[in-house]
């Protein structure tokens, strides 16, 4: 890892306050450690081990101003491209955006663990 510095932001749905953790990370493939994070019998390919340097409590103002936890109206315009649109642009259209986006929910469900 070229730069081990990491910053984590913990968000809990419906809660305005956040927790920020700064530290240093290393990648581990230690079998015993990976076994602790197995889901449905499948261990991860690797884990990040974080050495915490600072922990900061953040007030809820930014979350409240952003309306992050408010439901998105179904007719609201999407502020960013879809995953398929991004991949189509990045691959010079070798990935079809409509096909990718249509198949994404099923792919996410079947490859979750």
Among candidate residues 2, 8, 11, the one with its CA nearest the CA of residue 66 = 11
Tell me how far CA of residue 14 lies from CA of 17, 55, 64, 85, in angstroms.
9, 21, 10, 30
- Cα–Cα distance, 32 to 43 (Å, whole number): 10
| Residue-range domains of the chain with CATH | 1-68 (2.30.110.10), 79-113 (no CATH)
> What are the pLDDT digits (tens) for 64-73?
998 889 998 8
What does the pLDDT average to over 78-104? 96
The predicted pLDDT at position 86 comes to 97
pTM (predicted TM-score): 0.67
Residue 95 — pLDDT band, cuts 50, 70, 90? very high
**Residue 42: pLDDT above 80?**
yes
β-pair type (47-58, 5-10): unpaired
């Amino acid at each position: 890892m070229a730069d081990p510095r990491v910053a984590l932001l913990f968000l809990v749905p419906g809660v305005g306050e956040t927790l920020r953790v700064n530290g240093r990370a290393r990648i581990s493939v230690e079998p015993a450690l990976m076994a602790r994070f197995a889901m449905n019998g499948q261990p991860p390919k690797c884990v990040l081990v974080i050495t915490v340097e600072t922990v900061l409590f953040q007030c809820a103002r930014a979350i409240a101003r952003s309306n992050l936890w408010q439901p998105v109206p179904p007719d609201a315009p999407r502020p960013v491209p879809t995953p398929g649109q991004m991949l189509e642009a990045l691959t010079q259209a070798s990935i079809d955006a409509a096909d990718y986006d249509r198949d994404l929910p099923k792919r996410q469900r079947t490859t979750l663990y």
